[in-house]
A and B are shown apart, each in its own frame.
Chain A
Amino acid sequence: MRRAAPEINAGSMADIAFLLLIFFLVTTTMDVDSGITRRLPPPVDSPDNVKVKERNVLNVLVNKNNMLLVNGVPGDIRTLKDVAKEFMTPHYPDDPNYPEVEEQTIKFIGSFHSSKGVISLKNDRGTSYDTYIQVQNELARAFNEIKEELSVNKFGTKLSSLSKEKLEAINEAVPVRISEAEPENIGGN
C-alpha cells in the first residue's frame, strides 16, 4: 500500500530566509584599504649631500633586474630583513662595526641608547614595483621586530597591547629611518 509522503511544514520558511538575510547584512564588511604607509620628504632645491658617517648607513640598491646590492655585496630579499635588523639594533657599548648610538631620555623607558643608523634605499627606474614593495616590506618588518623585542623587554607585553603613550615611546626609541635617494638612473638603462 502506498503511503503519502510526509509534508514538511514550510510556514516558517519566510522567517528563516529573512533571518539569514539580516545575518549576512550585519556580518558583511566592505574590504578596507590597507598598505604600507610612508611619509615623503619635503622637496629640496639642491640635493646636497648631507654628511652621514659611513658606518651609520646601510645602502640598499635595487637594479632594473630586481637584484639587490646591500652595502656593496649582492643581497637576497630573503636575508634582507635579518641584515637590516642586525644593522639597526642598537649596539651598546659602542661597536665600530655597527652604527653609532645616541643616549636619549624617553618617557616610560628612561635612558636609552638608540641607533643613529639610516637605511638608504635606492632603486632604478626599471625596478618592478613588486620588488620595491617587497624590499619596503622587509625593511618595515626589521623595524617592527626590533620594536617588538624592545616592547617585550621594557614593558613585558606585545606591541599590539601597549597603550598609546608607551607605543609612542617605543617609536621614539626606534625611529624608522628609511631614506630614499633622489632618483637617478643607476646602471644598465
Chain B
Amino acid sequence: MRETSLRVKVKLPIATEIQKLEKKSLVSYIYIGPPTNTTLYGTESRIQLNDQYARVSDVPEFVTAEREARNEADRNLITTSLKVHKETKMGVVTDVKQELRKASAFRINYSTLKGIAK
C-alpha cells in the first residue's frame, strides 16, 4: 500500500495530543532516519525524498515538485508530513524545517504513533 519503498529506518515517537491527517492526496512525505542498509550507507540519519536519499538542499525542489503535482486550488493546502526516526538528532530536522519555511510550505505534521510514552 506504500507508494515509496523506505530506504531509511523510521521508528516513530509516541505522543498523545495528535490529530489525524485528513485528505491524503494533500500530504507529502519526508522521511528522516538511519539508512536501512547500514553496511553500505552508515548509521548517520539521512533524508529520503520520494524514493531516494537527498540532501537538505534538495528539499525546496521537492516542495516545488509536490506543489506542481497538485491542483491550482489545493497548492496552499499541502501538509508536509515529517516521518522522523525517534533517535534522530534535531539538527537535520531543524535544517529541513528551515528549508520548508523558505519554500513557504508552512503546514507540517510531525508523524507520531498514538500512545503514552513511558
A175, CB-defined interface residue at 8 Å: no
**Main SS of chain B's interface residues?**
mixed
- Asked if residues B110 and A34 are in contact (CB atoms below 8 Å), the reply is no
Q: Provide the residues of chain B in CB contact with A130, threshold 8 Å.
A: 13, 86-87
* Distance between Cα atoms of A137 and B19 in the complex (Å): 12
Partner of B101 from the list A41, A123, A126 (CB cut-off 8 Å) is A41
Partner of A129 from the list B16, B21, B84, B109 (CB cut-off 8 Å) is B84
* Distance between Cα atoms of A35 and B104 in the complex (Å): 20
B: contact size bracket: 35 or more
Known contacts A36-B19, A140-B17; is-contact A128 B109 (Cβ 8 Å): no
Q: Provide the residues of chain A in CB contact with B59, threshold 8 Å.
A: none
Q: Provide the residues of chain A in CB contact with B87, threshold 8 Å.
A: 128-130
- Asked if residues B101 and A42 are in contact (CB atoms below 8 Å), the reply is yes
* Distance between Cα atoms of A43 and B24 in the complex (Å): 27
Q: Provide the residues of chain B in CB contact with A129, threshold 8 Å.
A: 13, 84-90, 93
Partner of B106 from the list A35, A39, A140, A141 (CB cut-off 8 Å) is A39
**Main SS of chain A's interface residues?**
mixed
A71, CB-defined interface residue at 8 Å: no
Please provide the chain B residues from 18 to 32 with a CB less than 8 Å away from any CB of chain A in the complex: 18-21, 24, 27
Give A residues with C-beta under 8 Å from B.
30, 32-43, 123-130, 132-134, 136-137, 140-141, 144, 183
Q: Can you list 26 A-B pairs with a CB-CB distance of less than 8 A? A: A32-B20, A32-B21, A33-B20, A33-B81, A33-B109, A34-B18, A34-B19, A34-B21, A35-B15, A35-B21, A35-B82, A35-B112, A36-B17, A36-B110, A37-B21, A37-B107, A38-B109, A39-B106, A126-B89, A126-B90, A129-B86, A129-B93, A133-B15, A133-B112, A136-B15, A137-B17
Give B residues with C-beta under 8 Å from A.
1, 13, 15-21, 24, 27, 79, 81-82, 84-91, 93-94, 97-98, 100-102, 104-112, 114, 117
